[in-house]
Structures are given as C-alpha cells and as structure tokens.
Amino acid sequence: MHELALYSQIPTTRHTQVLQILSGVTASQPTETLEQTLIYQQLRLPDSGTSKKAQNRVVTAQPLRLTYHKLVRDLKEPSGDKTPWTFRSEDVPSPGVQNLIMRSVIETFITEADLERFRQGQVWYKYINQFLTHPSHRFIHGNIIIRISRLLSVPEGTGALEPLDAPVPALEDCKPVDPSGSFMFEAVVRVEDGGNSKLVELATKELLAFKKTVEGVVDLRVPERLSLDSRVKVKGT
C-alpha cells in the first residue's frame, strides 16, 4: 500500500493545547500509544529460488538496493510485552509529488518463522538501533491517522541483548532525541493501491483539506524527500 503524509513539529509548551484542539476537530479523545521501533539493516536480498525459470524471469519485483526495515510494536496494548511485532518497510518517497510525501509502504504482521531472520547471528539482518515514542497520542479523522509523539532514544548498551526478547528499556533512562523535547506531528492517509489514481486523488484531497483545517494551529509541511530515504548507503568506491 501507499502512504501519503505531512509532518510538523510542536514545541513542548503547545502540546496540551494542540491535543485539545485536535480532540475538538476529530470529536473524539486521543488514544495513548507507546511504540517501540527496532531498525534493522538488510544484509542480503531475499532469494527468489534458484530454479531455471526464476533465472530467466526479469528481476523487477526484487528491491534493487538493500533497505532499512523496521519492526514496530505498541506496548500500550492489553498484551503489553507480549504484543506481536509488525514488520514495516518504507520506500523512498515518490519524486513526482510536490505537496505531500507519498511512498510505498509494506506493513504486515510477522510470523515467528520470519521473526527468526531478525535475530542476532542470522545473515539476513543486522540490528542497528531502536527508539521509543513516549508520550504518544493518536487521533483518527475520517481516513487520516494523526500521530503526535516524542521520540526517545534508548540508553547505551541496549542493543547488546537480543532486542526482540529483551525487556523494554525503562522510560526514565531514555532521553529525548530532540533535547528541546518538541513533539513530532504526523498526518497519514493510507491507500490500498498506489496506482489507482482516483483513490490517490481522493486521499490527497482529504489530506490537503485537513491541512487547511488546522492551518494556524499546526503548520503541516513537506519535509525534504531524501531525508526519508531508507536505502542503505554502500560505503567505499
């Protein structure tokens, strides 16, 4: 599926005010979430099998470059620590779109078998880092998912243990990634099929209308496209 997104930044002093205004706009209360995201670097492209047929096939379905993948889970769910992980792979945002970020995203529940690939010692993935989002709130406005969160980086040495099984780092030890403590504001619309121009247009219209609605409260803008590039940079040469 494709995601269309706009971003903004909220200083700490305005956090409560923005939460209240959005409650009024969406006519509902925010849902609190605490997301733990693990970032992995792909070391090898997944093979498609070594049959003769596969070799003759044009390899357009394969990703051409290694990308960073994420494993996300929400710790505020009732199952707490045992919440299953979600696999998330984001592509580079599409170059042609000027007024918002549109990128292809794969987000699926991951089975235990596939989860094995992420463990330490495997050749598929290498663990890079992880971060938490706290405090994090979520609003839904029609088809738009609005997330207001502050990113916390985990203390040194958390990566030593197997991150999939390790206990969640204590919140007191985590420091915000942004020292001023400002919040990240994200408004996302998801489209099932990015090629369907009618749907994409509908989604764009909805997102831009929302931008206009909150104009003055929150300044939604389009960040630099390449800063969301998820491809692994190959060093050397």
Helical residues (DSSP H) of the chain, grouped into ranges = 15-26, 52-56, 112-115, 197-213
The greatest distance separating any two alpha carbons of the chain, rounded to the nearest whole angstrom, comes to 62
Least CB distance to another protein at residue 198 (A): 8
79 vs 122, beta carbon nearer another protein: 79
**In the Cβ-directed half-sphere of 151, how many Cα atoms lie within 13 Å?**
12
The length of the chain in residues reads 237
CB of 188 to another protein, least distance (A): 10
Between 81 and 193, name the residue whose CB sits nearer to another protein: 193
Q: How far is the CB of 140 from another protein (least distance, A)?
A: 6
Of 215, 163, 196, nearest in space to 37 by CA: 163
Beta bridge partners of 4: 102, 189
Distance from C-alpha of 169 to C-alpha of 153, rounded to nearest angstrom: 10
Q: How far is the CB of 191 from another protein (least distance, A)?
A: 5
**Which residues would be at the binding site for another protein (CB under 8 A)?**
1, 27-29, 31, 138, 140, 142-143, 145, 189-193, 196, 199, 202-203
Shortest spacing between CB 81 and another protein, in angstroms: 21
Which helix (H) or strand (E) element contains residue 94? none
Nearer residue to another protein within complex by CB, 141 or 150:
141
> Which residue's CB is nearer to another protein, number 203 or number 214?
203
| CB of residue 228 to another protein, shortest distance in Å | 19
- Taking the least distance from each CB to another protein, the nearer of 42 and 204 is 204
Quote the tokens at residue 61: 């379905």
| Phi and psi angles of residue 50, each rounded to the nearest 5 degrees, phi first | -115, 25
Q: Which residue lies nearer to another protein by CB, 28 or 120? A: 28
Complete DSSP assignment for 35-89: EEEEEEEE-SPPP----HHHHHS-TTSS-SS-BEEEEEEETTSTTGGGPPPEEEE
